[in-house]
């Protein structure tokens, strides 16, 4: 990414289309199969849904009260809430395990655990056939959905999801079976991602299943479903961005570059010895903002507008909502675990702070450029995360990217942030634009309509046409010269 900071605004997302226009044959087929998981539909009750049914009536989609887009939006919101709840419960559990939690945290954890245990119990009684069918509290819809998750996705998945209030409410209260079907399908497709996220955040789903553990006591509850305590403890102590998930093979690994494991770190590092040739005397970190007049050109803090050094920091929480995954031929990629909105700052690009002329990292390095209003040529430094960095280094390129790298002054330094330029849906791969310069010697495989490879092909086609035209002119010239010579030789 050297010399490739993209400061130009990304094109806006295309306007919403009707379901027929916006969906390819393949997606339509998939959507149909998603919807088929829930056979019947009831008329939605809320005002919002009524409005959506009007939209649908306008688009003449028989039998649908919501558009596909509306379904997908609601589905993504529910999924995002489920992941948020799981992370929140895991954080509460951690606080209770590690320190002296306050009363509210303790109560909150205890109540979440009780609710989750009740959900597992409901599924267990239903599946083992001991359900009291004459119980006035009997809720068929909820029991059916819990049974479906336990039987098809496994008891582990049920125990994990049971901790999320939004999942419990979805099973109990959501009347729209199609919407339930959409969410269920997505949970099924990303089950391994959700499971690993829960394990990495040390969510204690195991204790919900242990009371039922006895060979053959619950259909489908095998010893493997409980997992090994040692392996779970290992995962819980791993930094989530130190592993890359392969959801297809259901495995994970450490990210590696040139045979060295890449480590996840929280902040950039500066080693004065890297800067000796660059700066005379005592080398200093050029991204550090100090209270002396010499460096006032870093501008005021972008968070609190303080002209001097302040204590502002970027929130780290968005990093809990991204995952490293195998991205096919592109290597490692980043997947969103929440819905992000345009304008959200997702994180800081961190690594080793090197001089601008550093040439040893032509894959990951990013220039720290002056902010757009500054009239300063060149870059201040280069951030090289080839060995130590965070998840932002794994953002793959797309010519129609979701995010941009941008320089910002925050607290005591100038940092490179990753900012969303358009909405990002949960489980989508997050991309950034490296700039066309990066692809002069490489081949981009982003597949976007405006891909730089198309521009390259067009350039190549024009070059060939020009060459062919040049050759024709030359040949015509030669012919003319020959004719001239001949006519000179022949006496008139």
Contact residues: ligand SAM, CB under 6 A: 1, 330-333, 363-364, 393-394, 396-397, 444-446
CB of 338 to ligand SAM, least distance (A): 21
CB of 256 to ligand SAM, least distance (A): 9
How far apart, in Å, do the first and last CA atoms of the chain sit?
A: 70
Name the residue nearer to ligand SAM (CB basis): 203 or 451: 451
Instruction: Give 148's contacts (C-beta < 8 A, 6+ positions apart).
Output: 184
CB of 258 to ligand SAM, least distance (A): 11
CB of 4 to ligand SAM, least distance (A): 10
Name the residue nearer to ligand SAM (CB basis): 202 or 245: 245
CB of 275 to ligand SAM, least distance (A): 24
Name the residue nearer to ligand SAM (CB basis): 123 or 444: 444
Would you state the structure tokens that stand for residue 410, as one six-digit string? 């925050």
Query: CA 14, CA 21: separation in Å to the nearest integer?
Result: 12
Instruction: Give 30's contacts (C-beta < 8 A, 6+ positions apart).
Output: none
Would you state the structure tokens that stand for residue 103, as one six-digit string? 């009363």
CB of 55 to ligand SAM, least distance (A): 35
CB of 394 to ligand SAM, least distance (A): 4
CB of 324 to ligand SAM, least distance (A): 9
Name the residue nearer to ligand SAM (CB basis): 381 or 395: 395
Name the residue nearer to ligand SAM (CB basis): 123 or 366: 366
* Nearest C-alpha neighbor of 176 from the set 59, 51, 76, 39: 39
CB of 26 to ligand SAM, least distance (A): 21
Name the residue nearer to ligand SAM (CB basis): 164 or 334: 334
* Nearest C-alpha neighbor of 82 from the set 175, 155, 184, 156: 184
Name the residue nearer to ligand SAM (CB basis): 397 or 408: 397
Name the residue nearer to ligand SAM (CB basis): 66 or 365: 365
Nearest residue relative to ligand SAM (C-beta) = 331
Name the residue nearer to ligand SAM (CB basis): 68 or 434: 434
Name the residue nearer to ligand SAM (CB basis): 93 or 396: 396
Name the residue nearer to ligand SAM (CB basis): 331 or 343: 331
Would you state the structure tokens that stand for residue 393, as one six-digit string? 């280094």
Alpha-carbon distance values, 187 to 7, 138, 152, 312 (Å):
36, 25, 11, 37
CB of 397 to ligand SAM, least distance (A): 4
CB of 384 to ligand SAM, least distance (A): 11
CA 16 remoteness from chain centre? 22
């Amino acid at each position: 990414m050297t010399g490739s900071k993209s400061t130009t605004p990304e094109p806006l997302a295309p306007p919403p289309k009707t379901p027929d226009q916006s969906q390819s044959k393949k997606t339509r087929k998939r959507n149909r199969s998603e919807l088929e998981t829930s056979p019947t539909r009831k008329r939605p009750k809320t005002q919002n849904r009524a409005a959506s049914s009007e939209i649908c009536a306008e688009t003449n989609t028989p039998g649908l009260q919501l558009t596909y887009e509306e379904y997908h939006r609601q589905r993504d919101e529910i999924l995002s809430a489920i992941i948020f709840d799981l992370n929140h419960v895991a954080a509460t559990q951690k606080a209770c395990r590690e320190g002296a939690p306050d009363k509210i945290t303790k109560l909150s954890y205890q109540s979440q655990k009780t609710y989750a245990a009740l959900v597992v119990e409901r599924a267990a009684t239903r599946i083992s056939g001991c359900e009291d069918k004459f119980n006035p509290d009997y809720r068929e819809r909820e029991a059916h959905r819990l049974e479906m998750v336990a039987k098809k996705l496994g008891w582990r998945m049920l125990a994990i999801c049971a901790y999320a209030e939004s999942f419990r409410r979805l099973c109990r209260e959501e009347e729209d079976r199609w919407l339930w079907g959409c969410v269920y399908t997505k949970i099924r497709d990303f089950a391994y991602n959700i499971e690993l996220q829960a394990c990495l955040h040390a969510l204690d789903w195991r204790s919900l299943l242990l009371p039922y553990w006895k060979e053959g006591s619950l259909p489908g509850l095998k010893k493997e479903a409980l997992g090994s305590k040692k392996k779970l403890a290992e995962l819980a102590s791993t930094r989530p961005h130190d592993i890359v998930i392969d959801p297809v093979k259901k495995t994970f690994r450490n990210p590696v570059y040139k045979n060295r494991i890449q480590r996840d770190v929280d902040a950039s590092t500066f080693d004065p010895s890297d800067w000796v040739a660059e700066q005379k005397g005592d080398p200093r970190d050029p991204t550090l903002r100090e209270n002396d007049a010499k460096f006032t050109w870093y501008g005021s803090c972008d968070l609190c507008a303080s002209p001097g050094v302040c204590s502002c920091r970027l929130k780290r929480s968005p990093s809990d909502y991204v995952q490293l995954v195998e991205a096919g031929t592109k290597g490692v990629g980043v997947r969103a675990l929440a819905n992000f909105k345009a304008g959200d700052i997702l994180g800081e690009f961190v690594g080793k702070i090197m001089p601008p002329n550093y040439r040893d990292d032509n894959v990951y390095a990013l220039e720290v450029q002056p902010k757009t209003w500054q009239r300063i040529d060149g870059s201040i430094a280069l951030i090289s995360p080839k060995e130590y960095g965070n998840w932002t280094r794994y953002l793959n390129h797309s010519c129609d990217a979701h995010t941009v790298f941008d320089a910002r002054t925050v607290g005591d330094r100038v940092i490179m942030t990753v900012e969303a330029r358009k909405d990002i849906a949960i489980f989508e791969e997050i991309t950034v634009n490296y700039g066309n310069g990066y692809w002069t010697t490489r081949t981009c495989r982003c597949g976007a309509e405006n891909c730089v490879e198309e521009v390259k092909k067009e350039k190549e086609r024009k070059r060939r046409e020009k060459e062919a035209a040049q050759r024709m002119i030359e040949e015509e010239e030669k012919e003319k010269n020959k004719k001239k010579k001949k006519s000179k030789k022949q006496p008139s």
